């Protein structure tokens, strides 16, 4: 009787079969589950372990049986192609890409402090870097019949997840065809994350990995791919994940006036020290750490750090690997998908009771981060890539 | 006797055969000739007439006889390919691209006001937009023997001009191979500008046009192309046209630490009204005009204008053609090489004696311009893409 009740309760809660999560995660929403790791742990490892990788779920985690899993590839003149997980693993070369993924809402909480925005209150850790392995989307589309005739009309590739809302409609979105078919685009139908099966929270058994592009297009629990002349008509493509002017409020927002976010702008943040931390005056030096990344395969080439609120700047050391380990090999130009971790150790400025520490990154197209948040404020709190600032107190012992 | 002397004087001055220039140009340097048009004229036309297009010469303009002109294509295993102008025009399809070109030093004068920099004192008009026609570099390299074997080792394409300094060494630079060979890269060996032979000041008979990439790589009076595993070792590739941190001065600059500028960051400027202009209080509205552009084929998707020093922002109207004419067709994603002209007409703010007008652009990777110049200041005064600000006085009649 009790067991039956429990069963019924579970059945009525679509989130009851969600996986276990690591207790260190900071939860922004339980159902759907959205959480991020503490910043100082995030930059401890160049490759983010999956348990620490931010979880951004729009809907309950679907339970997918790998044996009966089928991926539908549609929209091509030859008709639909149906692929099992085994097909994906055996019929196409396995390709591995180290790519950073970032939620469009990363650093929203700081934007929310300027003026209220709508959305999950992400800190600075809705970003992670992983090794993804799988079939190239390009190879799968070619096998499904993509050719010069299709290239004439095809403009977008739609992705649909197996995660569904109460009305049965699935999470969905699209990317431009040139990103999908470009030999250097590195778009994957990934079945491994960091050398293991993709975990349930990250899209088991197959997720799309679109390097250099906002997290929202990296559809998890992938069920269907459609080649199309049109962009996805989904809510998430047409009425969310777009940027607006700071003067645009909910009364006058016109979603058609703004393009769907794809590539993300240059970004960086300070993970150590934390905002509000106390530094001991007897320490002779201060070490500042963080991450830096840019969308579209652009490489971060410099991170400037200020210990005096932006008056003077020092150049941080960048690395593309774990501390004390050799860097990962440099990717070719335009395919720099992974973040850099950075660190600066500098003399503790004398006489200051408080320090405002700032970081800002530069990528290889020499784009930079804007100085302040208000001029990039937008009603959904997306795309916060203003300089990251933390204040610390310097105390006498 | 007098004529002879004049002849001798001319012969001893390598600049004596430089072409005539339009008197409206603002001259930054006579020898070599460097000049830009007045801002308010620049944005009168979507396609910049060649006489108004900024001239940025590093050396005297070489006089090239089109009949005996030869282009050398070297570095490929099959040996050198020599092409006449007629070969270029007849052996390869003619391809036309509308592309904006910008000098890395555009807007240097404003950076110079923050703290002195080294370089020509460009205003905001070292930028122009033209229709370029010619052979695709890709097609020429394929004809010269570029193939899969070459792709294994080739990393850069060098360009050498026919303009030479007193020691006989030519202007030279290079671009990455992926930009050169990408089908969507649109790199041209251009022999026409706006439908006519390329004028002497712009590279007659052939210049390289590298859309989305800094002016300095768009080599004029092209004499030699070399496919190489290495970047060009020229002064302009290795010891100039690089960005640095604001804390880097001439005593500690390490050119090897910074990548050569290729793609440029998002940019915009106000061409009307001019800084210091007087606005009549009896005017009910104020019209602000300007240009906006981004490197790397990224499209400008929004320009925000503030009439109150950045407190509030309004969205400007963008166009891709002349006023009152239909826009040019939208290019495919990643190939948006041309600028947008923009305009905002808004009520004149009441009660203000002075207005600080600001513009800032957003491109389709949602990169934005930084708020202020000091944090992007660099010793050569390059890459100034901070918000553009003009102050105007509002006077009572
Ligand atoms: Mo996201
Ligand atoms: Mo330049």
Q: What integer is the mean pLDDT of B138-147?
A: 98
Interchain pair A366, B261: CB under 8 A = yes
Q: Give the C-alpha separation, A52 to B308, whole Å.
A: 44
Q: CA torsion angle for B273, B275, B278, B282 (degrees, to 10)?
A: 40
**Å between B32 CA and nearest CA of chain A:** 27
Q: What is the pLDDT of residue A334?
A: 95
Please tell me the least confidently modeled range out of A262-266, B81-85, B87-91, B162-166: B162-166
Query: Which residue of chain A comes nearest to B244, CA vs CA?
Result: A302
Strand order from edge to edge, sheet including B300-306: B278-280, B388-395, B354-363, B300-306, B314-315
pLDDT per position as a tens digit, A28-80 = 999 999 999 999 999 999 999 999 999 999 999 999 999 999 999 999 999 99
Contact A108, A122 (CB under 8 A): yes
Query: What backbone torsions phi and psi does residue B89 show, to the nearest 5 degrees?
Result: -80, -25
List the Cα angle B286/B386/A255 in 5-degree steps: 65
pLDDT beyond 60 at B2 = no
Taking contacts as CB-CB distances below 8 angstroms, the residues of chain B near A315 are: 245, 247-248
- At residue B11 the predicted structure's pLDDT band, cuts being 50, 70 and 90, is low
pLDDT beyond 60 at A10 = no
Phi-psi region of A194 (alpha: psi -120 to 50; beta: other; left: phi over 0): left
pLDDT higher at B282 or B221: B221
pLDDT per position as a tens digit, A332-371 = 999 999 999 999 999 999 888 999 999 999 999 999 999 9
Interchain pair B246, A332: CB under 8 A = no
- The upper half-sphere exposure of residue B105, i.e. CA atoms within 13 Å in the direction of its Cβ, equals 23
pLDDT beyond 60 at B386 = yes
Q: What is the pLDDT of residue A12?
A: 81
Taking contacts as CB-CB distances below 8 angstroms, the residues of chain B near A366 are: 243, 261, 263-265, 383
pLDDT per position as a tens digit, A157-204 = 999 999 998 888 999 999 999 999 999 999 999 999 999 999 999 999
Q: What integer is the mean pLDDT of B21-32?
A: 97
List the Cα angle A215/A219/A220 in 5-degree steps: 110
Query: Which residue of chain A comes nearest to B387, CA vs CA?
Result: A370
Nearest to A370 among B298, B333, B368 (CB): B368
DSSP A79-104: --EEEEHHHHHHSS--EEEEEEEE-T
Query: Which residue of chain B comes nearest to A310, CA vs CA?
Result: B375
Q: Give the C-alpha separation, A394 to A283, whole Å.
A: 10
Q: What is the pLDDT of residue A337?
A: 98
Q: Token pair for residue B73?
A: 């294509």
Interchain pair A248, B364: CB under 8 A = no
Residue labelled with tokens 């102008």: B85
Q: What integer is the mean pLDDT of A306-319?
A: 98
DSSP B27: E
List the Cα angle A35/A36/A40 in 5-degree steps: 155
Interchain pair A366, B243: CB under 8 A = yes
Q: How buried is B201 (Cβ within 10 angstroms: 0-12 exposed, 13-18 middle, 19+ buried)?
A: buried
Q: Which ligand is nearest to the CA of A216?
A: 1
Q: Which ligand is nearest to the CA of B106?
A: 2
List the beta bridge partners of residue A317: A343
Taking contacts as CB-CB distances below 8 angstroms, the residues of chain B near A263 are: 298, 364-366
DSSP B54: -
Nearest to B184 among A178, A362, A370 (CB): A178
- Could you give the percent of chain A with pLDDT greater than 70? 97
Q: What is the pLDDT of residue B5?
A: 47
CA distance to A154, A157, A234, A278, per residue, from A230 (Å): 8, 9, 11, 53
Q: Determine how β-strand B267-272 pairs with β-strand B314-315.
A: unpaired
Q: Which ligand is nearest to the CA of A103?
A: 1
Interchain pair B265, A333: CB under 8 A = no
Q: What is the pLDDT of residue B396?
A: 82
Taking contacts as CB-CB distances below 8 angstroms, the residues of chain A near B302 are: 243, 245, 258
Q: What is the pLDDT of residue B21?
A: 98
- At residue B1 the predicted structure's pLDDT band, cuts being 50, 70 and 90, is very low
Q: What integer is the mean pLDDT of B353-377?
A: 98
What is the average pLDDT score of chain A? 95
Cis peptide leading into B67, omega within 30 of 0?
A: no
Q: Give the C-alpha separation, A196 to A10, whole Å.
A: 29
Q: Give the C-alpha separation, B362 to A62, whole Å.
A: 37
pLDDT per position as a tens digit, A322-333 = 999 999 999 999
Q: What is the pLDDT of residue B166?
A: 86
pLDDT beyond 70 at B233 = yes
Q: What is the reported pTM?
A: 0.96
Handedness of CA B170, B176, B181, B182 (dihedral sign): negative
What is the average pLDDT score of chain B? 95
Q: Give the C-alpha separation, B244 to B249, whole Å.
A: 9
Contact A384, A107 (CB under 8 A): yes
Interchain pair A313, B247: CB under 8 A = yes
Q: What is the pLDDT of residue A6?
A: 46
Interchain pair A362, B310: CB under 8 A = no
Residue to substitute from A151, A367, A369, A376, interface B, most B β-carbons within 10 A? A367
Residues 6+ apart with CB under 8 A from B227: B73, B74, B75, B76, B141, B144, B146, B150, B154, B156, B157, B158, B177
Nearest to B376 among A243, A333, A368 (CB): A368
Q: What is the pLDDT of residue B351?
A: 86
Q: What integer is the mean pLDDT of B105-126?
A: 97
Q: Give the C-alpha separation, A219 to A222, whole Å.
A: 6
Taking contacts as CB-CB distances below 8 angstroms, the residues of chain A near B266 are: 367
CA of B300 from ligand 2 middle (Å) equals: 21
Q: What integer is the mean pLDDT of A230-259?
A: 95
Nearest to A259 among B262, B364, B372 (CB): B364
**Å between B201 CA and nearest CA of chain A:** 27
Q: What is the pLDDT of residue A7?
A: 47
Q: How buried is A77 (Cβ within 10 angstroms: 0-12 exposed, 13-18 middle, 19+ buried)?
A: exposed
pLDDT per position as a tens digit, B313-349 = 999 999 999 999 999 999 999 999 999 999 999 999 9
Q: What is the pLDDT of residue A351?
A: 86
Q: Exposure string (b/e) for A262-286, b if CB count within 10 Å is 16 or more?
A: bbbbbbbbbbbbeeeeebeeeeeeb
Count interface pairs A-B at CB distance under 8 A.
116
- Could you give the percent of chain B with pLDDT greater than 70? 97
- The upper half-sphere exposure of residue A387, i.e. CA atoms within 13 Å in the direction of its Cβ, equals 24
Give the containing element (helix H, strand E) for A180.
Answer: helix A177-181
CA distance to A41, A76, A175, A306, B210, per residue, from A134 (Å): 28, 22, 18, 41, 35
Residue to substitute from B375, B386, B387, B389, interface A, most A β-carbons within 10 A? B375
């Amino acid at each position: 009787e009790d067991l039956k009740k429990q069963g019924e309760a579970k059945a009525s809660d679509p989130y009851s079969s969600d996986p276990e999560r690591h207790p260190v995660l900071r939860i922004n929403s339980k159902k759907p589950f959205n959480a991020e790791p503490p910043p100082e742990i995030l930059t401890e490892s160049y490759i983010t372990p999956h348990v620490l990788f931010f979880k951004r779920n729009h809907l309950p985690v679907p339970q997918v049986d790998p044996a009966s899993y089928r991926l539908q590839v549609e929209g091509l003149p030859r008709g639909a192609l149906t692929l099992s997980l085994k097909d994906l693993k055996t019929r196409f070369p396995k390709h591995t890409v180290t790519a950073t993924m970032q939620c469009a809402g990363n650093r929203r909480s700081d934007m929310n402090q300027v003026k209220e925005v709508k959305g999950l209150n992400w800190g600075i850790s809705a970003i992670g870097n992983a090794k993804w392995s799988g079939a190239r989307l390009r190879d799968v589309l070619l096998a499904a019949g993509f050719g010069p005739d299709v290239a004439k009309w095809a403009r977008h590739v739609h992705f649909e997840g197996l995660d569904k809302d109460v009305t049965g409609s699935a999470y969905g979105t699209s990317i431009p065809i040139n990103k999908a078919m470009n030999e250097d685009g590195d778009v994957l139908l990934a079945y491994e994350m960091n050398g293991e099966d993709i975990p349930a929270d990250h899209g088991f058994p197959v997720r799309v990995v679109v390097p250099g592009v906002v997290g929202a297009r990296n559809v998890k629990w992938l069920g269907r791919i459609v080649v199309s002349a049109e962009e996805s008509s989904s809510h998430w493509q047409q009425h969310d994940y777009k940027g607006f002017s700071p003067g645009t409020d909910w009364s006058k927002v016109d979603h058609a006036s703004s393009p769907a976010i794809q590539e993300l702008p240059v970004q960086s943040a300070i993970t150590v020290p934390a905002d509000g931390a106390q530094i001991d005056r007897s320490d002779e030096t201060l070490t500042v750490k963080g991450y830096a990344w840019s969308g579209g395969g652009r490489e971060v080439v410099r991170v400037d750090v200020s210990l005096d609120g932006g008056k003077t700047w020092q150049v941080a050391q960048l690395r593309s690997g774990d501390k004390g380990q050799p860097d990962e090999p440099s990717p070719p130009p335009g395919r720099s998908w992974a973040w850099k971790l950075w660190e600066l150790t500098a003399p503790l400025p004398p006489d200051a009771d408080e320090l405002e520490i700032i970081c800002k990154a530069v990528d290889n197209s020499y784009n930079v981060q804007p100085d302040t948040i208000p001029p990039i404020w937008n009603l959904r709190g997306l795309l916060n890539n203003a300089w990251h600032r933390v204040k610390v107190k310097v105390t006498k012992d």
